[in-house]
Structure 1
Amino acid sequence: MGGSSSNLRDKHVVIVGGGYAGTAMANDLKEKCKITLIDPKDSFHHTIGGLRALVEDGYSNLIFIPYAPTYGESFQQGKVVSIDTTAKKVVLETGDEISYDYLVLATGTTGHFPAKLEFSVTDSSKAIETYNSYFDKINAAKDIVIIGGGPVGVELAGEISTDKKDKKITLIHSRSALINNGNFTDKFKKRLRKGLQAKGVEILFEHKVSNLAELPKDGSARCTVKTDKGSQVEADLVFVCIGLKTNSSAYSEAFSGKLDEIGCLKVDEFLRVEGCTDVFAIGDCSSVDSQAKMAYKANRHVEVVAKNIQLHADKKRLEAYKPPFTAICVPLGRTGGVAQIGNSFVAGNAITKIAKAKGLFTESYWSNQGQKMPTNRL
């Protein structure tokens, strides 16, 4: 195990959560010490490519990357139900216990499809069936309503309007501008709005859906979406792209006094859970950057925590986390989109297509996992 101190080589790091942050952490540490990556699913879910899978036939087979070929016996499929910080162990739903020297919590968020899959879907073949069923539902629908103008809602509207030009798409957003969280400029938000409207997407700003609980979320029946402003929109298919919640089920009891108002773990400047020296929180479940959850910020969390685990093992001073500069790239389908880099630079279709929209980093994530992306999508 090259590139590590002898002190770290003797340690066991347990990582709970195999999403973007968790797998990046596992990949950083797997040659430096013993690791165990725990996740309920059998595969890494490349959610960045998930919206493309709703409109491109066969793409769903590319967005699930199996853990086993990458991690072998270092991967444990299961759900963590409790954590004992005194005994330094995590307990799985099966009753199995796994001891740790360092614990990294990367449990992410939960929410409605297509932003997230249901907890019960742990088999990638079943997950692919879910995507394929919605591919068919989109093809069959004439009127589609998307609730929520954050990144998922905006990108979904862009994907459908680009590939399925015969669909009437209405995006309903409770705020006055798209993607309102984060330090994004009015120019960026305006170009997103114009980009969607140019593709024929109708946007209802400052409208809140008033009958959300009554709407079928599975496309099983045509329905009427009602808003607090009196608008009514007929829909064959409704996508709910709001309401992401922190997935705190693994740690809510063990760290009940260390959660913020949305269930994220409060961390210190070194990204350790408050009051702990050997437990870290990264990605969406960390209170750092909690108002603007983005993969590139989670990658910075990983860099800092991986370094701090080694520094702690060597009994050296830890490194404080510093947030990276603002950056966001929002595809509006495969042909382009809008990006903001830094506090003011806004780019359009050409840069966004090259940077993200064309490939959605799918092949890169297969490569990150040490695997080759399949060429056969059937």
Structure 2
Amino acid sequence: MTPTVIVVGGGYGGIAVAKALDDVADVTLVEPRETFVHNVAALRATVDPEWTDKIFIRYDGLLSRGRVVRDRAARVSATEVELASGVRLPADYVVLATGSSAPFPGKIDSLVRDDAVTRLHRTRDALLRSSKVLLLGAGAIGLEFAGEIKAAWPEKSVTLVEAGTDLLGGRFPGEFRAELRRQLDALGVHLLLGTSLRALPEPDAGSLRPFTVTTAEGDVLAADLWFPCFGAEVRTDYLDAGLAAARQPDGRLAVTSQLRLAGQETVFAVGDVTAVPELKQARAAGEHAEVVAGNIRALIGGEPVRHEYRPAPDAMLLPLGPAAGAGYAPEWGLVGAEATAQYKGTFFLDDYRELLGARVSA
């Protein structure tokens, strides 16, 4: 009989694994969302109406032999995935690809496409009518969002507050962070580093209403719209007792170099849900998927598992709107605004449309 592979989660890693194994296994992809969401472009879609519809791609064309089941995993064991609907799916191999969540609009959290589109339109309208925007967190999401807002509305006041003393947690070389600071200054973004707020703003995030907040030093900031740009989380409470031993305190899953769940032979994990010490990026999830798909193909063919994953050094291309941004990778060094805008101008949308079997845009 054809071996069964259940892939739990239809994000970047999940779709790549499912596609790669569709020709050798009975693949079922379990995903509660109505469509794939290209979250890499979510912040551009928030400010630019031309991008709003583009980031939602149907799953229909992903698999030619397998199937996509719109449901949520309620309990996962090494041999079975029980869905929230009560359906039980037997599995020879399980791939955990449930990703992470983060505050909107850094990640789109709606399960229904129309609901997500409505929320994006509502957020864009709030941004359009606001005069002073406060962003909390100077990681990649906060910086990119600040750049997108200023590129769309140069006259708007944008203040970014960060408890750490430097951008991106100081994780990258100083020349990269200095170039980002230079461009943010040119855009008119007001950076407040090394401080925090005594309390979060009273209005709900994304709600247009004037407010004031006080920093730890006692400075008063006034704005009428704010967004949290920190706090990525993973949910792995669906694991049964036999798999839960791999869960780390932050919810991420310990994996071997072969991306097997610690202590398991036929259960694998990819993407943000793993405890691999690296930046959580779509690129890494795709590389995880290649390793896992290769290892499962080997097991199906009765061959030894040889594929191993080695985390790459930190690398990033960070757009600050359509015409600005910077990047860094050890093999490139510093990448300036023009090259960053060129590489990230399409957010590699056509690559994911092709993977999902959708029509590639002109």
Shorter-normalised TM-score: what interval? over 0.9
Q: Which of 89, 103, 112 pairs up with 1:112?
A: 103
The 8 Å contact of residues 255 and 262 in structure 2, kept in 1 or not, is answered as: yes
Rounded Cα–Cα distance in structure 2 between residues aligned with 1:300 and 1:231: 45
User: After the TM superposition, which residues 331-350 of structure 1 pair with which residues of structure 2 at under 5 Å, given as runs?
Assistant: 331-342=319-330, 345-350=333-338
Question: How far has the Cα of 1:288 moved from its partner?
Answer: 0.9
Once the two structures are superposed, residues 191-228 of structure 1 have per-residue CA deviations (whole angstroms, 9 ceiling, x without a partner) of 11111111000000011122127442131422223221
Q: Which of 163, 172, 175 pairs up with 2:152?
A: 163
Once the two structures are superposed, residues 97-150 of structure 1 have per-residue CA deviations (whole angstroms, 9 ceiling, x without a partner) of 1111110001111121012233xx211111111111111111010000110111
Rounded Cα–Cα distance in structure 1 between residues aligned with 2:213 and 2:35: 35
Rounded Cα–Cα distance in structure 1 between residues aligned with 2:242 and 2:145: 37
1:256 equivalent to 2:248? Answer no
The 8 Å contact of residues 216 and 223 in structure 1, kept in 2 or not, is answered as: no
Rounded Cα–Cα distance in structure 1 between residues aligned with 2:238 and 2:201: 27
Question: How far has the Cα of 1:160 moved from its partner?
Answer: 0.7
**Aligned residue number for residue 203 of structure 1:** 191
1:365 equivalent to 2:352? Answer yes
Once the two structures are superposed, residues 240-260 of structure 1 have per-residue CA deviations (whole angstroms, 9 ceiling, x without a partner) of 011111122332755332212
Rounded Cα–Cα distance in structure 1 between residues aligned with 2:332 and 2:349: 28
Once the two structures are superposed, residues 249-283 of structure 1 have per-residue CA deviations (whole angstroms, 9 ceiling, x without a partner) of 33275533221221111111211111100000110
Rounded Cα–Cα distance in structure 1 between residues aligned with 2:276 and 2:341: 30
Q: Which of 270, 280, 283 pairs up with 1:293?
A: 280
Q: Which of 11, 16, 20 pairs up with 1:28?
A: 20
Rounded Cα–Cα distance in structure 1 between residues aligned with 2:88 and 2:201: 39
Question: How far has the Cα of 1:297 moved from its partner?
Answer: 1.6
1:69 equivalent to 2:56? Answer no
Structure 1 SS opposite 2:61: helix
Rounded Cα–Cα distance in structure 2 between residues aligned with 1:144 and 1:253: 45
**Aligned residue number for residue 5 of structure 1:** none
**Aligned residue number for residue 79 of structure 1:** 72
- Listed as ranges, the gaps of 5+ residues in structure 2 are none
Matching residue's letter, 1:296: R
**Aligned residue number for residue 4 of structure 2:** 12
Q: Which of 208, 212, 229 pairs up with 1:224?
A: 212
The normalised TM-score by structure 2 is 0.94
- Listed as ranges, the gaps of 5+ residues in structure 1 are 1-8
**Aligned residue number for residue 254 of structure 2:** 266
Structure 1 SS opposite 2:290: helix
Question: How far has the Cα of 1:71 moved from its partner?
Answer: 3.3
The normalised TM-score by structure 1 is 0.90
Matching residue's letter, 1:54: T
Number of corresponding residues? 360
Rounded Cα–Cα distance in structure 2 between residues aligned with 1:251 and 1:353: 41
The structure-2 alpha-carbon separation of the partners of 1:75 and 1:161, relative to structure 1 and needing over 3 Å to count, comes to same
The structure-2 alpha-carbon separation of the partners of 1:374 and 1:128, relative to structure 1 and needing over 3 Å to count, comes to farther
Matching residue's letter, 2:350: E
Rounded Cα–Cα distance in structure 2 between residues aligned with 1:343 and 1:232: 43
Matching residue's letter, 1:271: L
Structure 2 SS opposite 1:107: coil
The structure-2 alpha-carbon separation of the partners of 1:148 and 1:252, relative to structure 1 and needing over 3 Å to count, comes to farther
Q: Which of 231, 240, 246 pairs up with 1:243?
A: 231
1:37 equivalent to 2:24? Answer no
Counting aligned pairs with the same residue, the percent is 29
**Aligned residue number for residue 123 of structure 1:** 112
The structure-2 alpha-carbon separation of the partners of 1:373 and 1:61, relative to structure 1 and needing over 3 Å to count, comes to farther
The 8 Å contact of residues 202 and 211 in structure 2, kept in 1 or not, is answered as: no
**Aligned residue number for residue 212 of structure 1:** 200
